[in-house]
Amino acid sequence: MNWIDIALVGFLVVCLASSRLSPMYGFLIFITAVALLERLPFDTVLGLLADPSLIAVICLVLFSNVLSRIGWIRRLLFSHRTKAGVRTTLGRFLGVTSLVSSVVPNTAVVGAFMGSAANHPRHAPHTLLMPLSYGALAAGMLTPFGTSANLIVVGQAAREGISLGVDSFFLPGLASVILVVAVLVVAAPVLLRKGAQRLAGEQEFFHVEARVPPGSQLIGRSVIENHLRNLGRFFLAEVMRGDRVLSPVEPTEVLLEGDILVFVGDVRYIVELESIDGLEMMPKAAGRPHENILHAIVAAHSSLIGQTLKEAQFRSRFDASVFAIRRGNARLSGKLGDIRLEAGDLLVLAAGYDFAARDDIRGQLHVVETSYAGPTNLPPKSAALVSAGFGVFLILAFTEAVPFALATLLLLFFALAGKWLSERDVKRTFPFELVVMLWGSLVLGTLIAHSGLGTTAAKLLLDTAPGAGPVAAIVMVFALTWVLTEILSNVSAALAALPVALEIARLIGAPPDAFALTVAFGASASFLVPFGYQTHLMVMTAGGYTFADFLRVGSLTLLAYTIGSLTMITFLYF
């Protein structure tokens, strides 16, 4: 064990946990330091970029762009023609989500289904969106390729001579999914009922900005004289005057040319502000009709995070103007253009006619409205061919007729050859940040295994429970991985915990495949807090959830998931 290795791992954990540095840059610094300090041979560090599991993740992420254009997948989600109750709707919803998420990256599933759930005609998004995220996460454990963490664990386990296939994941995954879906169908409507009722009676409060332009009739008159004190749907929260922030705004405050007025209110009634003579919305959505007003959520790994709208050149980049922002239940202060965006921020956009065709939308924003068509659906014949091709891929994957990474490469080639995925699509949706983070996670796992940190941690864990049998050891490994995944990403948690788990298996003489499988399930047990998994951030603001909502529903879901997975793993191996 080397203190330099401990310091490097500690640095990475602090970077990922504190969010002061983007995960991509944190991993890049970590990788560079490992190579420069020669903690691992440079050829080894570089060779991890060609890891088959990493290649498989990239191919599946790129192919998910094609799957999202198959119309029949979305149509399976809800039947709007029947007046089904909330539990029936949830059952159907989670059943479809589970089937799709078992073979498609769950971020893509949540992104594709979120609009339908958020705009369901009979049930509140508060009741549907959190179960969507939880269901997709749990269902990814049905197969070894349902999550990126599964793929990485399977690949690293194979390096140690441990084979984890479809049969390894299916039964523990099925037990987990059945219990998780049952808990969500039975308990979620009850636990989320008060929140849904509260949100139904509330306005959609957003931070909205308007300007007093030159020549405005508002200039030289007070707030109360301009009738801005008693608006029906909006409240004047601040006046930005140069570098000064006037808050609270006094009724006698006289407005000046160039003043920026910050309102808080319900954007569904934005026409109330637009009808005030002498007031100009910021930014001005000239020529953008109201039917093009959309809600969009900043993606978990978006390059927009940490940037202001101006720095991101949002308007020219997306052909859309942001005129309101909501961040959970927090009230935002200051100029709209000075607010640094965070993952999960809900933006109200006045979209231009070219918005849907812009390259940068996918991967940066998740558009919530079902009225937003997004990428054009494939024609029926093309959709049938893509579905058939994906079916062949699944057969190859389940039967292990060819190496999984090769099967994903063939799938990607099939999409490119059929021109359902263009070269331009590949360039604009290539998951560069994800690749860096997966590469860094592989370096992390390799460093822990080679440095002896895994052996030291394994002995420390066993020392806390002398004489622990294999079942107790399995529980300890699951708990360790779960704690790590709530702090780090699921892949990083899995690769950090895997060397420890395999060493514990060696020390107590237990089957190593059981412990590797436990790590995979522990890495996807991030149900308790909204910041532990990217799909939870995607639904948090759109569903109007609080931290307490995640604790209430997440604790029961985590309990069901843990009982299902660990019971089946111990039954199969011990």
Q: What are the structural domain ranges in the chain?
A: 52-197+452-573, 213-278, 294-321+330-367
Retrieve residue 19's tokens.
């969010």
Retrieve residue 299's tokens.
């993606």
pLDDT at 267: 64
Predicted structure pTM score: 0.72
Q: Which of 9-18, 173-182, 544-553 has the lowest mean pLDDT?
A: 9-18
Asked if residues 369 and 119 have their Cβ atoms less than 8 Å apart, the reply is yes
Q: Which of 112-121, 342-351, 385-394, 487-496 has the lowest mean pLDDT?
A: 112-121
Which secondary structure element, helix H or strand E, spans residue 350, and what is its range?
strand 346-351
Asked if residues 105 and 147 have their Cβ atoms less than 8 Å apart, the reply is yes
pLDDT band at residue 13 under the 50/70/90 scheme: confident
pLDDT at 256: 94
Taking residues 352-359, report their average pLDDT: 68
| Domain covering 213-278 assigned CATH 3.30.70.1450 in the classification | yes
Model confidence pLDDT, tens digit, residues 330-340: 656 666 677 88
- Rounded to an integer, what distance in angstroms lies between the CA atom of residue 393 and that of residue 387? 10
Q: How far is CA 19 from CA 13, 489, 497, 541, in A?
A: 10, 12, 21, 19
- Rounded to an integer, what distance in angstroms lies between the CA atom of residue 92 and that of residue 192? 18
Identify the three-state secondary structure at position 122.
Answer: coil
- Rounded to an integer, what distance in angstroms lies between the CA atom of residue 90 and that of residue 78? 9
pLDDT at 85: 79
* Local structure of residue 86 (DSSP, 8 states): H
Kindly tell me if the per-residue pLDDT of 567 is higher than 80: yes
- Sort 19 into a burial class: Cβ within 10 Å, 0-12 / 13-18 / 19+: middle
Among 198-207, 268-277, 313-322, 517-526, top mean pLDDT goes to: 517-526
- Rounded to an integer, what distance in angstroms lies between the CA atom of residue 31 and that of residue 23? 12
Neighbouring CB atoms inside 10 A of 308's CB total 15
pLDDT at 366: 77
Model confidence pLDDT, tens digit, residues 248-262: 788 899 999 999 988
- Residue recorded with tokens 């954007």: 267
- Rounded to an integer, what distance in angstroms lies between the CA atom of residue 306 and that of residue 21? 10
Beta bridge partners of 244: 241
Least Cα distance to 337 among 347, 535, 375 occurs for 347
Instruction: State the SS3 of 179-192.
Output: HHHHHHHHHHHHHC
- Rounded to an integer, what distance in angstroms lies between the CA atom of residue 129 and that of residue 413? 34
- Rounded to an integer, what distance in angstroms lies between the CA atom of residue 367 and that of residue 355? 11
- Sort 487 into a burial class: Cβ within 10 Å, 0-12 / 13-18 / 19+: middle
DSSP calls for 502-535: HHHHHHHT--HHHHHHHHHHHHT---S-TTSSHH
Half-sphere exposure of 74 (CA within 13 A, CB side): 21
Beta bridge partners of 324: 208, 348
Q: How far is CA 166 from CA 6, 57, 151, 478, 561, in A?
A: 35, 17, 11, 20, 19
Least Cα distance to 367 among 118, 100, 76, 69 occurs for 118
Identify the three-state secondary structure at position 212.
Answer: coil
Taking residues 82-93, report their average pLDDT: 77
